[in-house]
Structure 1
């Protein structure tokens, strides 16, 4: 907390304004006594605040405990942000509320960063493999037996690098595929159940009204229009009949 106050003082020294502080408590507070010094904020009970006269305009904390009773499929975007941040998830499959549109959006941002990171790691692997191959080319020993033995060792290490990278890529692909399949299944079920709830037997469906009503409830995130929803629905019905 002292470090936080120091940061706020630095902000005031530079800009001559008191900052608004927002802290995400990823695991838990340092101790129960400290946690009890925070109270629920009016109108947003999932945010905790504390007295901060002279060093901040307001100080807000969000923790796993503070959002516990507000986590659901249609949770507020800020709660979804806190949920995603505190979960520290490695993949969508591990998140109970992975279907939430805000959670999916945040995951897509992190995914782009991880792709760049993985690309950098791949370049490092390729550089390593290139160096091992160059060692084979550069062998200058006169003894053919010694040269053969060294070549075998270099090739084994070279193949080990390639196999290690292949295993890593396969594991990442399988995790991504499992998460995608689970997410698609959940969305399909929720979306089509809503379509059925908005339909009357033996009457034509008003796809535009259904689409707009579903969007308002946070559904149909996989569709861009009423027509695409209609087409997907009819294909699903045909598959179910088969």
Structure 2
């Protein structure tokens, strides 16, 4: 049973539209929705926990949207079939007949039938064939193929949604047939039952999306393993031929296999790294020192947070370069601090060594803004193929 936080419901905007085919089937598979349907059809006499979701494929290859069955179908615990339909027409009505007869053949009991219709009936003459029940659904005699039929539309529940106490099945019909992604778009957005349905749907759709991503990653791994397996099979086939001339081919297959597996591994590592949100870090001493020197040298105020974020968002493959940069910077920092205390410690071959390195860290946009001509000594640093990561 889900614990609902009603206070958050008003802000929900669903990933899928209620009443759409895929979204509806996800919802109908949930225990809370199943209990609502079962309780309504049995007048609250039977708990939804007694029912499970059954195989919905029929002998002719057609599929119902959802079928609920009890452990032992009887006259008092009948199978239940639920359908979500955009428009209720004669073609669907005949198909519904066949679904129910198939269920009756399989379980030896006529089923309950519940249909949620999004756009209503196909014509006025067709809807006139049905009777509107005071409980908010259309029905018709079904004694030859089903125990009962309940058809919910926005028209059928129009009088029932204004009731002081909203019936759970009416709330479900209102939720599905309205097809509003955002609860704020509904007149009954402040109704607790509607809010619970939106919270439940939001959780179900989010879990389905995560499962889809997980399955996608698993499919990539499985496909990669199958391809690697085929590569090994080629190698074994060459070995079994006992042909001495096959060694070149074996080597080629092995090299290709190593390259393939290596590339797939790197791709998966990069995907895994991108899926993890980096932990925000504060400025370290090296970056603070760099910014201080840049500000002092060029008499400008730099955006420290922006520069730090650039360093923080570097790709994982550049991590080794970052470490090298930090190590080199620490070394130059020490030399720079030493030169301030004792000028004799500045390298004899490059008196501007420290200043040059600090200058090379200057961001490109900042360089464009400076009118002064670059010192000749800066060219010394640019020839070293050093890379700036800030």
Looking at secondary structure, tell me which structure has more helix per residue. Answer: 1
> TM-score w.r.t. structure 2 length?
0.31
Q: Name which one, 1 or 2, has greater alpha-carbon Rg.
A: 2
> TM-score w.r.t. structure 1 length?
0.48
